[in-house]
Structure 1
Amino acid sequence: MIRSFLIGLVAGQRGITPLAVIATATRREEIPATLPLQTLLRNPVIAAGTAAFAAAEMAGDKMKTAPDRIVPIGLAVRGVTAAYAGAALAPRDKKVLGAAVAVGSALAASYFGWRLRCAAMARYGQTATGFVEDAIVFGAGLAIANPKLVSGKA
């Protein structure tokens, strides 16, 4: 369940990143394709699409017009992607619990991360803090979903 909790923290900061790292883990066969539509993530075009959407979200975050992550649609997206990723990382018999844990941690992390980012932006600006946050979120997401990729073990 710890991986479901942690991927929820990632989803709380970037809504699409969990799908991109789950696609990577599914393609690398680090996690089994047991969820509906998860076999689609093995398709290179679909996997590349999730990565492109995650990159677009990260780029959009640097724009002055970017909405806060705590707006209702942002929380909804984070909840859905956290649920899917949390279920994908949970043990076979605990998929629903994994989804619930991930959603809970995503929603809490959205508010905490928003407050932290607001404070950092006041001192360092939107772009710099966004790049730092992206690096942490993407790196953590990859490590959570793909531990063999990070450890170098095949």
Structure 2
Amino acid sequence: MWRSILIGLVAGQRGLTPLAAVAIATHRKKISAELPLQKLMLNPVITTGTVAFAAAEMAGDKMKTAPDRTVPIGLAVRSVTAGYAGAALAPRDKRVIGAAIAVGTALASSYVGLAARKWGMRRYGQTATGFVEDAIVFGSGLSIASPSLVAGRR
């Protein structure tokens, strides 16, 4: 269940990164494609698309007009992607619990992450803090969904 909790933390910071991390892990056969629509992630076009959407979200985050992650639509996206990723990373018999835990973690960490980001922005600016956050979030998402990929083992 740790992976579900951790992917929820990732979702709280970037809504589309958990989906990209699960797509990469599924495509590379690091996790099995058992959830609805997850078999689509075996297709490289779908995997590339999820990564592109996550990258677009990260780019958009650097814009001055970017909304806070706690606006209702942002929380809704985080809930959906956290739930899906949390279920995909949970043991087969605990997928519903994994999804629920990931959603709860994502919602709570959205507020904590926003407060931390605002603190960092006052000191270092929006772009610099955004790039640091992106690196941490994307790296964490990959290592949670595909630990062996990050460790260099195939």
1:129-148 pair list within 5 angstroms? 129-148=129-148
C-alpha distance in structure 2 between counterparts of 1:34 and 1:62, whole Å? 35
Match of 1:61 in 2: 61
What code does the residue aligned with 2:61 have? D
Percent identity of equivalent pairs: 74
C-alpha distance in structure 1 between counterparts of 2:115 and 2:94, whole Å? 32
Match of 1:25 in 2: 25
Match of 1:47 in 2: 47
Cα displacement (A) at 1:25: 0.3
Q: Across the two proteins, how many residue pairs are aligned to each other? A: 154
What code does the residue aligned with 1:144 have? I
C-alpha distance in structure 2 between counterparts of 1:89 and 1:5, whole Å? 10
C-alpha distance in structure 1 between counterparts of 2:137 and 2:46, whole Å? 21
C-alpha distance in structure 2 between counterparts of 1:70 and 1:112, whole Å? 10
C-alpha distance in structure 2 between counterparts of 1:120 and 1:36, whole Å? 39
C-alpha distance in structure 2 between counterparts of 1:146 and 1:139, whole Å? 10
1:1-154 pair list within 5 angstroms? 1-154=1-154
What code does the residue aligned with 2:28 have? R
Q: CA RMSD in A?
A: 0.5
Q: List gaps (5 residues or longer) in structure 2.
A: none
Deviations 1:37-60 (A, max 9, x none): 000011111111000000000000
Name segments (4+ residues, structure 1) moved above 4 Å.
Answer: none
C-alpha distance in structure 2 between counterparts of 1:63 and 1:42, whole Å? 32
SS in 2 for 1:29: coil
What code does the residue aligned with 1:33 have? A
C-alpha distance in structure 2 between counterparts of 1:90 and 1:145, whole Å? 10
Cα displacement (A) at 1:153: 1.8
C-alpha distance in structure 2 between counterparts of 1:23 and 1:67, whole Å? 26
C-alpha distance in structure 1 between counterparts of 2:33 and 2:100, whole Å? 19
C-alpha distance in structure 1 between counterparts of 2:15 and 2:153, whole Å? 28
TM-score (norm 2): 0.99
Cα displacement (A) at 1:152: 1.6
Cα displacement (A) at 1:150: 1.0
TM-score (norm 1): 0.99
Deviations 1:124-151 (A, max 9, x none): 1000000000000000000000001011
